[in-house]
Amino acid sequence: MTHPNFLVENGKSTLLDIFYFVVEKTLYHIRGSTFRPQPKSSQDIKTAQNKNVVIITKKKNEMKTLIASILFVMLSVVCFSQNATINGVYCASAPLCPMYSCENSTAIINAGITSGAIDSLKLRERFSDDGGATWSTFTIISTVVTTTVPSSGSALDGRIYQYWLRVYQGGIQYWAFSEMYVNSAPTATLLSNYTTLCAGTTVTFTASAGGTNYNFKINGSSSQSGASSTFVTSALANGDNVTVTITNGSGCSNTSLPIAMTVNPKPTVTSITGNPTPGCLGQNASVTIVGLTGTAPWSMEVWTDVLGNPGALYYTVPGTINTPNSTVSVPIPAVGFTTMHPRFTDANGCSNF
């Protein structure tokens, strides 16, 4: 292929030259196929050549001007085009700009334009409940820049929403589209082996399956978060509310209803004294109890000692103790000094050990 001089001279060329070359060659072939009377004498040939030089030069200048105008328009379209944007993105077709929301949740649409400020806008919404086979009518839902969608307040599982944004700037309209898909939220239920318990009791909470993360919370503060659907604790207080927030693989979350915990305190006692001291083996000693706490009435047991801790049950005091300050009879267990441990259990079933 023979290249024109301007493509090889000085090792450079211009885009305008290339356009001119292509168009000129095309026109040359078109002209060559058109019948023209041929000059017969040498003078006629010379005159024709001189006229062609003038005509060709004029045509070249006109062609370059035309091509330059076309290039200017093309560059203007590419470099200075305006479009409406949804969350910073322009799409001429809604499926090309997908958004995602979770069931019973919302999303944000920020209306914009490629450059400059918006004079006014209209955001329309429609939805489909059958996968896009049929759609509701587009309805204007907002005329402000930032809008929470969907307009109903919460996204419905399986529904598809479409948004048509039209903005106005300088009397010109621009538009963009987007489509929002709704992912299912997990089912969130929580069970526990106790709801009424005594302080210090170990409680096991079990959440429903299907999540990738389980965030167990006590009174709204996270106590355990991770892949385990089980939470075990003995540090609950009366009135605590326990919930679990389950997150699935789509990033959608759901929080269980709270479990309200009734935690009763363990009984305590201010002092216990015996009389007589010393006494005789088998003789009943009077034991005086002062400042017993918990919920009346109480039962009382006496336990032996093993290395400072309760060992085995020695004696169960008959009947119940009905007041915080009481006196009961307990048989003396052995010869010599003997350590014993009194166990008090109140009406809530809570014991001091």
Which whole-number Å values give the CA distances from 233 to 164, 194, 202, in the listed order?
Answer: 51, 11, 6
Are 247 and 328 contained in the same domain?
Answer: no
- pLDDT at res. 43: 58
CA-CA distance, 253 to 268, in Å (whole number)? 44
- pLDDT at res. 66: 57
Query: Which of 50, 80, 110 is a domain's end point?
Result: 80
Are 53 and 38 contained in the same domain?
Answer: yes
Are 36 and 112 contained in the same domain?
Answer: no
**Residue 24: inside a domain:** yes
**DSSP label of 9:** G
Higher pLDDT: 15 or 195? It is 195
- pLDDT at res. 337: 74
Are 201 and 286 contained in the same domain?
Answer: no
> How high does pLDDT run on average in the chain?
84
Find the mean pLDDT for residues 175-193: 97
For the chain, how many structural domains are there in total?
4
Which amino acid, one-letter code, is at 85?
T
Is the separation of the CB atoms in 136 and 171 below 8 Å?
no
Top-confidence range, 48-62, 240-254, 278-292: 240-254
Is the separation of the CB atoms in 71 and 150 below 8 Å?
no
**Residue 353: inside a domain:** no
- pLDDT at res. 81: 82
**Residue 113: inside a domain:** yes
Please report, for the domain that includes residue 198, its CATH number.
2.60.40.10
**Residue 352: inside a domain:** no
Are 89 and 166 contained in the same domain?
Answer: yes
Are 71 and 108 contained in the same domain?
Answer: no
Range of the domain at 217: 190-264
pLDDT in tens, 115-141: 999 999 999 999 999 999 999 999 999
pLDDT at 50 over 60: no
Are 290 and 307 contained in the same domain?
Answer: yes
Query: Which of 264, 290, 323 is a domain's end point?
Result: 264
Pair type for strands 259-260 and 262-264: unpaired
Query: Which of 264, 279, 308 is a domain's end point?
Result: 264
Is the separation of the CB atoms in 101 and 183 below 8 Å?
yes
- pLDDT at res. 193: 98
Share of the chain above pLDDT 90, in %: 71
pLDDT at 46 over 60: no
Are 129 and 171 contained in the same domain?
Answer: yes
Are 146 and 197 contained in the same domain?
Answer: no
Helix (H) or strand (E) holding 11, with range, is none
* Residue 23, CB-side half-sphere exposure with 13 Å CA sphere: 17
Are 45 and 96 contained in the same domain?
Answer: no
**Residue 322: inside a domain:** yes
Are 90 and 167 contained in the same domain?
Answer: yes
Find the mean pLDDT for residues 229-242: 98
**Residue 351: inside a domain:** no
pTM above 0.85, yes or no: no
Question: Which of 50-59, 195-204, 250-259, 321-330 shows the lowest mean pLDDT across its residues?
Answer: 50-59
Are 58 and 113 contained in the same domain?
Answer: no
**Residue 350: inside a domain:** no
